[in-house]
Structure 1
Amino acid sequence: MKAIIVDDEKHVREAVKLLVDWQHFHIDTILEAQDGEEAIALITEHRPQIIFTDMMMPVKSGPELLEWLDRHYACGKTIVISGHDDFQLLRHTVKHGGVDYILKPIDADQLHDAVEKAIEAWHREENERNRQLQSNIEMNQIRPVYWEKILSNLVTEPSAYEQSALALAQEFGMDRSMNQCRLAVISMDTMNKELKQKFEANSDLLFFSITNICNEILRGTRSGVAFRYMNTEGEILILLYGASEPLTVLREIQRGLAAALRASFDIGLSDTRPFPAGLPAAYKEAKSALRRRNLLAKDKQIYQTANTPPAVQPMLSFSDYAEQIRLAVQSGSPEQIAKAAEGWINAVRTLEIITPEQLELWWNEYHVVRNRWLVDWFGDRQPELKSLLNASSPLAIPSDDGGSLSINQWQKELTEGLTELSKHLLKHQHQDNNVIYEIAKYIQNHYHQDITLQEIANHFYLSREYISRKFKQEFKVNLSDYLSDIRVEKAKLLLLNPNLRIAQVAGMVGYDDEKYFSKVFKKMVGLSPNKYRKVNQP
């Protein structure tokens, strides 16, 4: 903490410095001033928490300093040290926020108490200031999210307008006389590469930046509001309702975004619709306009349904090339995979128009075919199959540095994905040929029988030691525990049938001794078979 002593007499300043236990109050910086004017300069620069001041000083007096502090630095805590027992001076001190009024000669205990009171008051007010600041920060963070939810809900549920009509009128000027609107959608799927990389780790900041730029322009023209659409992933909508020409406003927004972010965006625009009832239709129109745009175009544009008719072009289906690609993946040859992928891509290159609508259709075709392959190839290995099925990512338009569709990038991503799939297939085939996996299959198929390690060794013509060692290396668990896990999992299912006795369940999963079965089951599950049945009985 910092303190300043203001007095035109040096011996008084020295006395205060000697009488206050600065270390006790955690004050490590002590400033000095000979008059109020010098004090104001030091207070402005250093902002001390505690201020000691005399009342009668040249240039600028103590009362004048108190008045200045009250207007410009009210958070500082002032202790007056004066040689004048004057009621008017005391009254002036209290009126302008002084903590205490001490008469000279200075009493050490009185000074100590005054400093303690001043510091307590400063800490109390500082905590309140920090609490208020944090509250304001939180409110400023919540406020945009609140309006995003309100406006997003309005697009899907126009009937919700009545609940928010007054607030919308106060915040955005959407009064009840407003009966028409248009809706625009900013496309985020064809951003340039530089912008994607810049905001890759913080997409929220990107959305915040774009909506801020849009709203700065919209506020200037009083023509609408931009917001993040909360009902889908990664969309910014612009609700246009002012008198300004929508296309003019949107072009200005495109220029503003290009200047601030060095990136251009396609924008889809709806027809004029009634407000708020027409908002769902307006959203569909704007989205439809974007879905019909040509991704091969280099310049970002504003698309409207009326001037963006469905593209008419030769039919091209991924399914026509699927068999050749499947055989290449099964071959395990990167060269064959690359050649098969190139055959499909070369057919795509003949097209003059590729729309997001068409791209999505091909993506769906590819993943239907791919998932069918996975079931055929990995159907008997469910965990691996599930992992590969879940690896299917959402459609992301492969783009060049400028954000336009890049067929070269598409070819690269497709080839890499097929090559990775081929590696999984080869690994799977290798595992199927591995004797340890054959033993695991044997256990899975014969768990209900009296299987012993010696019996398995005899069946596969291998030593017991070799099987134990290799099995533990491959599956990270002992063969006996692997068998017990399977039996217990099967038993859990059978116990759900109330018509089966515990002894019957034990026999069905390979245990002749009901008591031993119960002991093993309780050790692994934590409940006895009977208790497990009661807890999980439908």
Structure 2
Amino acid sequence: MKVLIVDDEKHVREGIKLLGEWEQNGITEIFEAGNGEEAIQLIQTHKPQIIFSDMKMPKMDGTLLMEWIKANLPASKTIVVTGYDDYHYMRKAIHFGSMDYLLKPVDPEILNHTLETAVKEWKKEEADRMRKASSAQLINEMKPVYRDRKLTQLINSDIIEEDLYKEFGFHLSQNYTVALVRINHKAIVAFQGGRDLAYFTILNIINELLLENECGIGFRYLASKGEIVVIFWNQFERITDFLAQIYQTVKNVIHISCPIAIGKLVDKSSKLIDSYQHAKQVLLNSNLLENAESRVYRQDELPVVMLKSLMAYSSNIELAVQAGEIGAFEELIEQIAFDYTENHYLSFKQLIHFENEYLVISNQWFKKYDIPIKVADDIEKRIDGFFDKNGTFQLEDYKERMKREITLFLKKVKQKSSQKNSNVISEIEKYLQSNFDRDVKLQEISDHFYISREYISRKFKQEFNVNISDYIVKIRMARAKSLLKNSQLKIYEIANMIGYQDDKYFRKVFKKVVGVTPNEYREVNMNKK
């Protein structure tokens, strides 16, 4: 803490410095001034918490100094020190906020008691000031959130709390119009992902113009993602001009187009939701392919628009998937794009509808091929990346993204099919090994594994370099050799055990495969033992 001693007599200043218990009271710096003018300069520079001041001084006396302190450093604690036991000075000191009055010569005990009291009072008041400042900061930080919440409730409510909304600058009127500003993902990215900062900046631009013209208020609409709502209660004939100015200013600041739609005029606050919904439909009907200088939209009458459905192309999509090549999709994508952008018109509503159906169909195909599905991003976030800085939708870039996604899907399908085919052939091999002792037909295998005979025959030959019938003979001969080596079974018994009812045919096959007869093979192996 800092102390300033003001007196035109140096010995008085020295005496106070000598008598004061400064360290015990947390005083680290002491400054001196010979009159009020010098004191003001020191106060402006160092802002002392405790000030001892004489009342009668040249140039500027204690009365004028205390008046200046009260106006410019009211938090400080002043203590008057004078040689005049005069009620006039005491009254002046009290009037300008002095906390005590000391007579010269100064009594050390009284001085230090007064100093201790002044320090305690300053610390207590400073703690209160800090609490209030902290509370005020919190209120200021929360006020926009509170305003947004209450005005969002107003849009969706039949009841208006007049006093509450006056606090935010909302005016009661005979008529209202709602405008809707869309804040897309690119606008948030422009602020390095700072969503609150993006809304704060854009709302500052909006409300500065509205406040200047006393015609409305803007706020973040919490009931729907990515929206700012503006309520107009005055100057309805100038709304389009105001919003055009807001649109251009926002675009100049963040270099992103934030389209705006104007709702219909309503005659009471309970109908604000009707004006909002009208504005939303206007925005959803706006043409994304139009290269417009300003994107402020107004439609007094909403047209009835039939949305095209991607489901109508399901059979074509299935054929393209079965083809397994992106080339099969390219013509289909071009056809869909042509159908959806008839007369060079593509509405925001149609694009969102398409994106939703596209994800539904994609997920169905992913599930069909048992491919892990990545959870889709927010629909509008997927779309937002395809608008240029003027707000025009880049259809060609959007089609390229679809082709990349489909190409990746087809690649995964091929990988999955390859793994599945390899697994099936392994299962067929196990099936043959378990049933080698009977006559297994190709049709039986086809029925068991739900795969065509031609496919089984071709893939088995590719995998094992022999056809299925030869593979069965190979298993049987291996089993026969094992039995001939390690048992006293008769030849016809071995033949029956491995699937041959005719032992003569068995002998013939064995000699052809092994090069010797079963008896010769047994004799050779018995001799080895």
TM-score in terms of structure 2 length: 0.69
Cα offset for 1:376?
A: 1.7
- Which residue of structure 1 aligns with residue 39 of structure 2? 39
> In the alignment, which residue of structure 1 is the partner of 2:53?
53
- Contact 1:99/1:118, CA 8 A, preserved across alignment: yes
Are the counterparts in 1 of residues 3 and 30 from structure 2 also a CA contact under 8 Å? Answer: yes
**What is the aligned counterpart of 1:203 among 195, 198, 213?**
195
Please list, as runs of the form range in 1=range in 2, the aligned pairs for 1:21-420 lying within 5 A after superposition.
Answer: 21-157=21-157, 159-161=158-160, 164-168=161-165, 171-172=168-169, 174-175=171-172, 178-189=173-184, 193=186, 195-245=187-237, 246-299=239-292, 300-306=294-300, 309=303, 319=314, 322-323=317-318, 326-327=321-322, 336-337=325-326, 340=329, 344=333, 347-348=336-337, 351=341, 352-378=344-370, 385=372, 388=373, 390-396=375-381, 397=383, 398-418=386-406
Structure 2: tracts of 5 or more residues without a match: 427-529
Q: Which amino acid aligns with 1:400?
A: D
The alpha carbon displacement at 1:143 in A equals 2.8
Verify the 8 A CA contact 2:307 2:350 in the aligned structure 1: no
In 1, Cα distance between equivalents of 2:48 and 2:328: 75
Distance 1:108 1:345 in 2: 97
Q: Tell me the CA shift for residue 59 of structure 1.
A: 0.4
Shift of 1:60: 0.5
For the 8 Å contact 1:79–1:98, the answer to whether it is kept is: yes
* Secondary structure of the structure 2 residue equivalent to 1:55: coil
Larger Rg computed on CA atoms = 2
Deviations 1:29-76 (A, max 9, x none): 332211101111221232211112122211011122112212222111
Deviation at 1:344, TM superposition (A): 1.6
Q: Are the counterparts in 1 of residues 3 and 31 from structure 2 also a CA contact under 8 Å? A: yes
**3-state secondary structure, aligned to 2:387:** coil
8 Å contact kept, 2:321–2:410: no
In the TM superposition, what whole-angstrom CA distance separates every residue of 1:342-401 from its partner, at most 9, and x where no partner exists? 8525752683222111111211111111121232233xxxxx85xx36345333322234
Shift of the 431–40 alpha-carbon distance from structure 1 to 2, 3 Å rule, reads farther
Q: How many residues align?
A: 415
Q: Alpha-carbon deviation of 1:267?
A: 1.0
Q: Counterpart in 1 of 2:522?
A: none
Residues in 1 aligned to 2:295 and 2:353: alpha-carbon distance in whole angstroms: 23
- Which amino acid in structure 2 is aligned with residue 410 of structure 1? Y
11-20 or 226-235, which deviates more: 11-20
State how far apart, in whole Å, the 2-side matches of 1:321 and 1:10 are: 103
Call closer, same or farther: CA 1:430–1:43 in 2, change over 3 Å.
Answer: farther
> CA, structure 1 residues 6+309, in 2 after alignment: closer, same or farther (shift >3 Å)?
same
Contact 2:260 2:295 survives alignment (8 Å) = yes
Contact 2:256/2:389 (<8 A) preserved = no
> What is the CA–CA distance in structure 1 between the aligned matches of 2:328 and 2:120, rounded to whole Å?
79
Matches of 1:277 and 1:409 in 2, distance apart? 43
Shift of 1:17: 2.9
- Matched to 1:12, the amino acid is V
CA distance in 2, matches of 1:411, 1:49: 70
Which secondary structure does the structure 2 equivalent of 1:57 belong to? Answer: coil
Counterpart CA distance in 2 for 1:337 and 1:260 is 42
Distance in 2, matches of 1:111 and 1:421, equals 87
- Asked if the contact 1:325–1:341 (Cα under 8 Å) also holds between the matched residues in 2, the reply is no
Q: How many Å apart are 1:77 and its aligned residue?
A: 0.8
2:71 and 2:38 map into 1 onto residues whose CA distance is: 17
Does the aligned pair in 2 maintain the 1:319–1:366 contact within 8 Å?
no
Compute the displacement of 1:150 (Å).
Answer: 2.5
Give a deviation string over 1:65-116, Cα, whole Å, max 9, x none.
1122122221111122223333332332222221222233333333222222
8 Å contact from structure 1 (residues 254, 264) kept in 2: yes
Deviations 1:482-524 (A, max 9, x none): xxxxxxxxxxxxxxxxxxxxxxxxxxxxxxxxxxxxxxxxxxx
Q: Is the 8 A contact 1:318 1:362 kept in 2?
A: no
Q: 1:323 to 1:434 in 2, by over 3 A?
A: closer
Q: 1:198-257: per-residue Cα shift (whole Å, max 9, x none)?
A: 324221221122222212211222212111111111111111120341212222322343
1:301-331 CA distance string (max 9 Å, x none):
2212237746799987664663366458xx6
- Shift, 1:26, TM fit: 3.2
CA contact under 8 A between 2:291 and 2:392: conserved in structure 1?
A: yes
Q: Is the 8 A contact 1:293 1:355 kept in 2?
A: yes
**Contact 1:321–1:344 (CA under 8 A) maintained in structure 2:** no
Cα distance, 1:249–1:314 mapped onto 2, change above 3 Å: same
Equivalent-residue separation in structure 1 for 2:23 and 2:418 (angstroms)? 75
Amino acid at match of 1:188: I
Q: Work out the CA distance in 2 between the residues paired with 1:430 and 1:108.
A: 99
Q: Any unmatched runs of 5+ in structure 1? A: 379-383, 439-538
- Give the Å deviation of 1:124: 1.2
Equivalent residues of 1:338, 1:415 under 8 A apart: no
Percent of aligned pairs sharing the same letter: 31
Is 2:7 the partner of 1:7? yes
Counterpart CA distance in 2 for 1:434 and 1:181 is 69
State the one-letter code of the partner of 2:215. S
- 2-side partners of 1:318 and 1:406: how far apart? 23
The CA distance in 2 between the partners of 1:146 and 1:47, in whole Å, is: 37
The residue type equivalent to 2:379 in the other structure is P
AA at the equivalent of 2:164: A
Contact 1:269/1:304 (8 A) holds in 2: yes
Q: Please tell me the residue identity of whatever aligns with 1:399.
A: F
What code does the residue aligned with 2:392 have? S
Cα distance 1:413–1:133, how it changes in 2: closer, same or farther (>3 A)?
farther
